[in-house]
Structure 1
């Protein structure tokens, strides 16, 4: 006999009712046995970490950065966010005796974690604001995948990384950041002519490293009191882009505007050594009478006083004192500061009686120096025949 449809619906309803009652009872038991948690007044609040200055001092000291560690307390590095510190070696700090270590440490510290693999992914010339107000570090790389922080190479990457603090080691010339360090200049073809436009070859997919290094030097020179030299590099950008590397001897704005500008700018190419990157160690190792080829054809520079003599006996080229060694450098360009323009001169090397060259320079200054004309007359004692003379042709200009 068939079961009526109304009876089937009634049975189904009763089953559903029993199931709901069972689920309700199970939920009540679970609620009575499980602990209760009061809702957090800040449901999205993440735990904060505070690092005391003493911790930073300990880390830097342990890693061998003794001088920098002494400035940790004064720099007030205590922070509630992760931090990346670019630590210059004690030897590098000697290149800036007038630097304030606490301020320098702030300028070399970035809020956030920046391990080496992340720095390599940044676009060339990326600027990152530091703990020092209105101061930014510029990150660059070269063709060998090296990373530079404001032109100083990271020689010891990821020395320390505990997920809260990252420390990279730097080696090179150190100085305070410029107030204009956060300014971004758009370097397009309007401000920097492309050398490839003068040829029939197609435009390269990316600029070569020498182009980027020239732009880096132009920006940094302008921000550090060498705006005239910066402008000269922009004028000669196309020509200098053809070089593999270069060494530039620069005169600061103060010296140029106080009377040495005419001789320097008229003979700017005479102050550029092409395809040689003479760093501090290489420059001071040059012996007296060593000759340096310049961008001025047929006119070489001559080391008249060797380096290594200290402040009382500074190195001199063409009798001009080298005031600042490694003023600026990157992977292709080195710039040294000079006290005045190099005079054009051809000082014949005197012969000894046996016919050999006398490599000792008897004098270390010009007898008649004319900065406006860019000439140096040296009245050195030489045998009859070869005479000292000067090159007065100073109309080549930039």
Structure 2
């Protein structure tokens, strides 16, 4: 049986082929930005540290998006939570939209001690998505810190005093914060009833944005796959015709 490595590499290329065009649009107003020196941060070192720990997909994604995501922020201190490759290639978020990546970046320093000792259960953690925080869900007496019910699995993958990168077991699920902690969500001033409208069935703008980005990505992936299949058929037909011509010449 063939190794799954080529398949994973192909999926990663598909992921980037969809993600990078979004980045080029979002970064069009920052054409003079040096992506290695945003806020003086060493983005190459952050990317390399993730790669060395096996977070290949997030290493590549952050290398190409982090400068754009942080360029408009006034703070110079950040904490980034990174899911593993298996989460990136899972059916739920096969190609994570930029809004979801921003939801995993906190504009402040959160070291291990802070998350284990200082922040109690249901503490709010602001993210780069305004009005949509993370929530600490570590249960009392638990030895595993969790955020949005996702465990932190790797501490200090990178830490230079201004940026800390931790590994988590999966993507943080945005709807869980909106549904379970509506009082923290800026779009839910009236509580959980505003999460889904009883008349129109529409979600909050936060969920709408996520749905629209994911739909765009799915359409792009389908188009990409269709192009690959079409090229494959064209190649096979040309080869078949060339074989027929060879036989006719011999006869």
Q: CA deviation at 1:213?
A: 2.3
Q: Which residue of 321, 331, 336 maps to 2:151?
A: 321
CA contact (8 A) 1:260 1:341 kept: no
Residue 102 of structure 2: aligned partner:
269
Higher helix proportion:
2
Question: Which deviations, in whole Å up to 9, do the C-alpha atoms of 1:217-245 show, x marking residues without a partner?
Answer: 01221232212212222223133245401
What is the CA distance between 1:333 and its match in structure 2?
1.0
Paired residue for 2:134, among 276, 301, 326?
A: 301
Distance in 2, matches of 1:386 and 1:238, equals 33
Contact 1:320–1:339 under 8 Å retained in 2: yes
Matches of 2:182 and 2:207, distance apart in 1: 20
**What SS class does the counterpart of residue 236 from structure 1 fall into?**
helix
Does structure 2 retain, via aligned residues, the 8 Å contact 1:279–1:334?
yes
Of the candidates 160, 184, 189, which is equivalent to residue 330 of structure 1? 160
Cα distance in 1 for residues equivalent to 2:163 and 2:140: 20
TM-score (norm 2): 0.53
**Counterparts of 2:55 and 2:38, CA distance in 1:** 22
Question: Separation in 1 of the partners of 2:68 and 2:192?
Answer: 38
Following TM superposition, by how much is the alpha carbon of 1:332 offset from its aligned partner in structure 2, in angstroms?
A: 1.5
The answer to whether residue 157 in structure 2 is matched with residue 342 in structure 1 is no
Greater per-residue strand proportion: 1
Question: After the TM superposition, which residues 219-234 of structure 1 pair with which residues of structure 2 at under 5 Å, given as runs?
Answer: 219-233=48-62, 234=64
Would the alpha carbon gap of residues 325 and 299 (structure 1) be closer, same or farther in structure 2, given more than 3 Å must change? same
Q: Kindly tell me: are residues 232 and 198 of structure 1, through their superposed partners in 2, closer, same or farther at Cα, counting changes over 3 Å?
A: same
Are 1:307 and 1:315, in contact at CA under 8 Å, matched by a contact in 2?
A: no
CA distance in 1, matches of 2:181, 2:30: 41
Q: Is the 8 A contact 2:38 2:71 kept in 1?
A: no
Report the equivalent of 1:26: none
Change (3 A) 1:338 1:265: farther
Q: CA deviation digits over 1:28-77, x for unaligned, max 9?
A: xxxxxxxxxxxxxxxxxxxxxxxxxxxxxxxxxxxxxxxxxxxxxxxxxx
Indicate whether 1:246 and 2:78 are aligned.
Answer: yes
Shift of 1:318: 1.1
Distance 1:196 1:211 in 2: 16
Write the distance in 2 (CA, Å) between the matches of 1:242 and 1:307. 37
Residues 5-84 of structure 1: matches in 2 within 5 Å? none
Say which SS state the counterpart of residue 91 (structure 2) adopts.
helix
Note the residue ranges of structure 1 that are not aligned, 5 or more in a row. 1-192, 351-384
CA spacing shift, 1:223–1:268, aligned 2, 3 Å = same
Q: Deviations over 1:148-193 (max 9, x none)?
A: xxxxxxxxxxxxxxxxxxxxxxxxxxxxxxxxxxxxxxxxxxxxx9
1:237 paired to 2:67: yes
Residues 244-268 of structure 1, C-alpha deviation per residue, up to 9 Å, x if partnerless?
Answer: 0111110111332243543744511
Asked if the contact 2:50/2:58 (under 8 Å) is kept, the reply is yes
Gapped runs of 5+ residues in structure 2?
1-26, 184-189, 197-205, 218-251
| Counterpart residue number, 1:392 | 207
* Matched residue, 1:218: 47
